[in-house]
Structure 1
Amino acid sequence: MPAFPSLEDCFRQGTQARDEGRKLAENPYSLRTPQHREWAAGWCSTFDLDEDDDPESMRVKSGATDKDGRLDDDEGPISG
């Protein structure tokens, strides 16, 4: 069974992805996992909001799916 990357590695991967111009939606980790959260935190850590930026526009919209096609409906944890 493959080992999960450390949360520090996920954060660094997110930072690197942002530096490479990848989008926040390209997070490779399943929603609602610590790895997804840390990758996104790394990506966002390199982002400076301007006065005109709308942080709400960056949120995952209800009904969005993760990379496995599972619905992110804010109904609690996704069971496997």
Structure 2
Amino acid sequence: MPKRVLQGVVVSDKQAKTVVVKVERTFLHPLLRKTVRRSKNYHAHDEANAKKVGDTVQIQECAPKSKLKRWEVVSDQA
């Protein structure tokens, strides 16, 4: 099964080799037919420690690296 890839914005880079990425998704409410926005934060591994707050990045699923980190940064989206 292929690994999932998500795109989001870095909201925190205070931890060593870790960034917190906010991923937003939009969907149509089944009853009200209104567009709804939901967001979720993911802890992702950043080996080079190069990503800063505000950067748009892609993250990919990986084997667990710590208690919270199940994702790793794949690339920048400039």
| TM-score (norm. length: structure 2) | 0.26
- Greater fraction of residues in helix: 1
More strand by share: 2
Q: Which has the higher contact order (CA 8 A, sep 6+)?
A: 2
